[in-house]
Amino acid sequence: MSLDAEPIFPHELRDAWPALSRDERVESFKLVPHATADDFFLSLSAQEQAELILLLAPGERRTWMRLLAPDDAVDVVQSVAPQNRDALMSELDETTRREVLALLAYAEDDAGGLMNPRFVRVRPEMTSDEAISYLRKQTREKVETVYYAYVLDAQQHLLGVVSLRQLFQAAPDKRVADVMSRDLITVSEDTDQEAVSRLFSEHGLMAIPVVDAEKRMKGIVTVDDIVQVVQEEATEDIQKVGGMEALDAPYFEVGFLAMLKKRAGWLLVLFLGEMLTATAMGHFEEEISRAVVLALFVPLIISSGGNSGSQATTLIIRSLALSEVRLRDWWRVMHREVLAGLALGAILGTVGILRILIWQSVFHTYGEHAVLIALTVGVSLLGVVTWGTLSGSMLPFLLRRLGFDPASASAPFVATLVDVSGLVIYFSAAAVLLRGTLL
Amino acid sequence: MSLDAEPIFPHELRDAWPALSRDERVESFKLVPHATADDFFLSLSAQEQAELILLLAPGERRTWMRLLAPDDAVDVVQSVAPQNRDALMSELDETTRREVLALLAYAEDDAGGLMNPRFVRVRPEMTSDEAISYLRKQTREKVETVYYAYVLDAQQHLLGVVSLRQLFQAAPDKRVADVMSRDLITVSEDTDQEAVSRLFSEHGLMAIPVVDAEKRMKGIVTVDDIVQVVQEEATEDIQKVGGMEALDAPYFEVGFLAMLKKRAGWLLVLFLGEMLTATAMGHFEEEISRAVVLALFVPLIISSGGNSGSQATTLIIRSLALSEVRLRDWWRVMHREVLAGLALGAILGTVGILRILIWQSVFHTYGEHAVLIALTVGVSLLGVVTWGTLSGSMLPFLLRRLGFDPASASAPFVATLVDVSGLVIYFSAAAVLLRGTLL
């Protein structure tokens, strides 16, 4: 790029930032040219902004705190320890401080916690030319986006929205009321952020207005905040699917003990559940001692149930999260998954039977009853995979129905559930098919 | 809302849309008032737009195809069967058709496939007032966003960017060159969409310009397209973590056989891998027949390894996807995960030992060597959980290093890997600790 050479390019510093020590951050931040320092500062995450501000001398903090829009100031204040919050709040001007205090009252994961109370407003009776000049005036304040102007009556009721593009395209004397869109998508202050992000992704919007019960406008949520939310929600889901509590922070930023706690909890629950396999196996100790060969296929059979259950549960968890599948679809899903389970079980069962018969004909591993053993394994695989697929797909529905997060039906959780029932299926099949021969 | 009553509110129809039959869609679409039909049409997904257009009479198609910006027209054309593409392309005007043909040449998952070739451009020597009027003129064309204007020289080289807000705030006679930001984040046409979405989420941008190797501006990617991309990438990762190929479409829209194929493939690979457990168990058949009690704990031990491996692998897969952890961090991660594995293994091992000792004292389940059996199980758990955690956390790094997607180190894949080694660890521990007593 044939641009002016500058000491530190903000986006280069941005990339290096996570690797820098506290001192290096302060030093290199001071080297960013004044003209681009704002952009750089705003490109940092709330956590990074907060850390940087606290590292600066109290006299230098004001500029940076005041650069933040109220919703971003809230994020910064929330990401420092409680004893540091007042110090940061006191750097804000009076108006912003009051707005930040109001926003702090909202839950972080609701639309109210994401919204910016400053937006561009116009009156319905303005002409498009008047609206553009009025809008131009408002950009001197710290409005979050100038792309949409919200049309409010004197009581702050939201009547419609007009995009800058619509104003630009309209004849200069056309009234705002005649240009604006009246069919609005709005959210309320307590709409969950996951629902908000779904609206953004379904409708391809740049901003969504937040209104109270009387349709009075409270603020806007913009799409750039939502990209972050979508990432966070997906990360939470992936971590839960992997069988742990959501970490809520990047890997290296979570303390070792905190991370251990989030992982040990679920691992212990799964372990206690898995202990039932020892109990179940204990019931079949007699059969195992008579036909040790049965024990050889235990890992193969229970893990096939676990794997097919993991597939089904992650598939349904994600489909529910994206609203591709809704609670009322459980019946259709069950039909489909039983068929899928039978088909997958038939495939694995056939491969399992072939494996045993081929080994038998080459190595004579399994003795005179190899065909019966192969049949037992094949039938068990059909049963276990069908059952794993069915329970893996239904569990997320059950959890959602009971008011829990479907993502808690993690792959390891389903695998553990299926392990115990898999043993019962296997040894029951053996009891029937091998009676009078091996058993 | 005190808005005019209208026959069908677009956002109500939008919600009902997926549930409607083809005929109902055409009929209800015709009932949408003319003033809001555009908004409604644009709120549909590319797939839905394509289906709707093909249902309309050829004479009615033109209006809707021509409403689309070139990058959206590309999505619509790509989502219909090849034999229908020409029919849709012929509805476009000559200029757009040429742009769409050019965009179709880009891979769907690259920045080139996401970008819109129409953006607002200004010259560096314009005053801010001239730039605003020029910008106002350009909104009559179908530009994707008016929020940023790109400053180009006569050879279309990108010199800088100026936001509408900056133009509004600047004194009317100030030159664009003095207002614009020169520190630009750009991508090239073949930047992968995952990298593009990371830039959006790290920097909180509304749009990113796409430039060629000579820094000539080709188009822009806007954040509203990226929300969709972020969702899609997360879905792919979650499905891979669950142990299947990514579906690339909503659950009910994937044909039964296509879905079966995506699931059976991985399930078979895992099954073939898991067959090694039967081989491994076969090597210990002798030990099992002498001490059947050993078989009882096989599921407990291998599943604990699998669960801890699932946790570690999903944690690292997601951290790599979000660039919280980079390839070069593998050494730091290994250190941390070995410690985590030892700690988790010690916890589960202790619980396991207690479980056996308590059962023994209450039910006398495990005979005279119960303490030795408990010790064997405890030591094996420590080893298996540490090994599961270590291999689960390192596998995504290995895959990334070899050029594969780290998300392929799915929870079931790691569990299968750990199962075989878990058996070896368990029976080796037994061989040492139980020699001369049970074995």
Chain A residue numbers with beta carbons less than 8 Å from the beta carbon of B204 are 42-43, 224-225, 227-228
For residue A159, what is the nearest residue in chain B, using CA coordinates? B3
Which of A237, A242, A304 minimises the CB distance to B313?
Answer: A242
CB contact under 8 A, A200 and B135: no
B2–A252 C-beta distance less than 8 A? no
Q: Which residues make beta-bridge pairs with B148?
A: B163
- Considering the domain architecture, whether residues A256 and A351 belong to the same structural domain is answered as yes
| Res A2: pLDDT | 37
- Subunit contact A340:B223, Cβ cutoff 8 A: no
Q: Are B137 and B26 in the same domain? A: no
Question: Do B231 and B277 belong to one domain?
Answer: no
For residue A246, being part of any structural domain is answered with no
Q: Do A238 and B239 touch (CB under 8 A)?
A: no
Q: How close is the nearest chain A Cα to the Cα of B428, in Å?
A: 16
Say which of A242, A252, A256 has its CB closest to residue B411.
A242
Examine the domain organization and report whether A261 and A399 are in the same domain. yes
Which chain B residue's Cα is nearest to A276?
A: B300
- Contact state of A282 with B259 under an 8 Å Cβ cutoff: no
Asked if the structure places residue B245 within a domain, the reply is: no
Q: What is the pLDDT of residues B196-215, one digit of tens each?
A: 888 887 777 788 999 998 99
Rg (alpha carbons) of chain B, rounded to whole number: 30
Is residue A4 one of the residues assigned to a domain? Answer: no
Chain centre to alpha carbon of residue B152: 34
Select from B61, B82, B105 the last residue of a domain: B105
Cβ within 8 Å, pair B274-A169: no
CB contact under 8 A, B242 and A314: yes
- pLDDT at position B81: 80
- Flag whether A114 is in a domain: no
- pLDDT score recorded for residue A312: 92
pLDDT confidence of residue B2:
37
Residue A264 resides in a domain: yes
CATH number for position B42: 1.25.60.10
Q: Does the beta-carbon distance from B242 to A315 stay under 8 Å?
A: yes
Same domain, A229 and A269: no
Task: Tell me which residue in B168, B299, B411 faces A310 most closely, judged by beta carbons.
Answer: B411
Indicate yes or no: CB of A272 within 8 angstroms of CB of B344: no
Q: Are A312 and A371 part of one and the same domain?
A: yes
Judged by CB atoms closer than 8 Å, whether chains meet at A263 and B344 is answered as yes
Distance from CA of B159 to the nearest CA of A (A): 7
Q: Which of A289, A300, A412 sits opposite B277 (nearest CB)?
A: A300
Q: Considering only CB atoms, which chain B residues are within 8 Å of A157?
A: 1-2
Shared domain check, A19 and A146: no
Angle at A381 between CA A301 and CA A277, to 5 degrees: 35
Asked whether the beta carbons of residue A314 and residue B419 sit closer than 8 angstroms, the reply is no
Let me know the angle formed at the C-alpha of A100 by A26 and A151, rounded to the nearest 5 degrees.
120
Q: What is the ipTM metric for this complex?
A: 0.73
Residue B40's Cβ-count burial label (10 Å; 0-12, 13-18, 19+) is buried
Nearest C-alpha of chain A: how many angstroms from B84?
A: 25
CA distances to A14, A67, A140, A222, B324 from A72, rounded to whole Å, are: 18, 10, 18, 12, 22
Q: What is the CATH number of the domain that holds A134?
A: 3.10.580.10
Give the torsion through C-alpha atoms of B191, A252, A241, A409, to 10 deg.
-150
In this structure, which long-range contacts are made by residues A160-168, counting pairs with CB atoms below 8 Å and at least 24 apart in sequence? A160/A124, A160/A184, A160/B3, A161/A209, A162/A122, A162/A131, A164/A132, A164/A135, A164/B146, A164/B147, A164/B164, A165/B139, A165/B146, A167/A128, A167/A131, A167/A132, A167/A135, A168/A132, A168/B135, A168/B136, A168/B139, A168/B146
Chain A contacts in chain B segment 34-93 (CB below 8 A) = 36, 39, 42-43, 45
Residues of chain A under the 50 pLDDT cut: 1-6
Residues 6 or more apart whose CB falls under 8 angstroms from that of B303 comprise A270, A274, A277, A302, A306, A412, A415, A416, A419, B415
List pLDDT tens digits, range A227-281: 878 888 888 888 888 778 887 788 888 888 888 888 888 888 888 888 888 888 8
Asked whether residue A3 is domain-assigned, the answer is no
> Which residue, A248, A316, A240, A419, is CA-closest to B310?
A240
B157 near A CB under 8 A: yes
- The residue from A105, A134, A168 where one domain ends is A105
Neighbours of A165 (CB within 10 A): 18
How confident is the model over B278-306, as pLDDT tens digits? 888 888 888 888 888 899 999 999 999 99
The predicted pLDDT at position B8 comes to 64
Domain boundary among A240, A269, A302: A240
Interface test with A, best of B138, B142, B311 (most A CBs within 10 A): B311
Structural domains in chain B (count): 3
User: Cβ A299–B344 below 8 Å, yes or no?
Assistant: no
Provide the shortest C-alpha distance from residue A103 to chain B (in Å): 20
Task: Give domain status of residue B114, yes or no.
Answer: no
What pLDDT is attached to residue A3?
Answer: 39
Contact B224 A204 (CB under 8 A): yes
Q: What confidence score (pLDDT) does residue A181 get?
A: 86
Task: Give the nearest partner residue to B235 out of A288, A302, A318, using CB atoms.
Answer: A318
Same domain, yes or no: A189 and A286:
no
Scan residues 280-299 of A and list those with Cβ closer than 8 Å to B: 281-282, 285, 288-289, 292-293, 295-299
By the 10 Å C-beta count (0-12 exposed, 13-18 middle, 19+ buried), A296 is classed as buried
Q: Are residues A31 and A50 located together in one domain of the fold?
A: yes
B324 lies in the same domain as B425? yes
Q: Which range of residues forms the domain containing residue A21?
A: 10-105
Contact list, A347 vs chain B (CB under 8 Å) = 264, 267-268
The answer on A409 and A296 residing in a single domain is yes
Alpha-carbon distance A429 to nearest alpha carbon in chain B (angstroms) = 18
Q: Are strands A158-163 and A148-152 parallel, antiparallel or unpaired?
A: antiparallel
How many whole angstroms separate alpha carbon A370 and alpha carbon B410?
34
Q: What does the pLDDT read at residue B1?
A: 37
Handedness of CA A216, A222, A226, A229 (dihedral sign): negative
From the list A204, A238, A243, the residue facing B318 with the nearest CB is A238
Which of A144, A169, A227 should one mutate to test binding to chain B, selecting the residue with the greatest count of B CBs within 10 A? A227
Q: Does A358 touch chain B (CB under 8 A)?
A: no
Beta bridge partners of A181: A161
Residue A401 sits in a domain of what CATH number? 1.10.357.20
Yes or no, beta carbons of A230 and B227 under 8 Å apart: yes
Partners of residue A184 in chain B, C-beta under 8 Å: 1
**Nearest-by-Cβ selection for B230 from A11, A230, A260:** A230
Q: B439 in a domain, yes or no? A: no
Instruction: pLDDT tens for chain B, 439 residues: list them.
Output: 333 444 567 777 877 787 788 888 888 888 887 777 887 888 788 888 888 888 888 778 888 888 888 888 888 888 888 788 888 888 888 888 888 887 777 767 777 778 888 788 888 998 888 888 888 777 766 566 667 889 999 888 999 998 887 888 888 888 999 989 888 889 998 888 878 888 887 777 788 999 998 999 988 888 877 887 888 888 888 888 877 788 778 888 888 888 888 888 888 888 888 888 888 888 888 888 888 889 999 999 999 999 999 889 988 988 888 878 889 999 999 999 999 999 999 999 999 999 999 988 988 878 788 899 999 999 999 999 999 999 999 999 999 899 888 887 788 888 888 998 999 999 999 999 988 887 7
Pair A234, A311 in one domain: no
CA of B405 vs chain A CAs: smallest distance (Å):
16
CB of B15 less than 8 A from some CB of A:
no
CA A175 – CA A183 distance, rounded (Å): 18
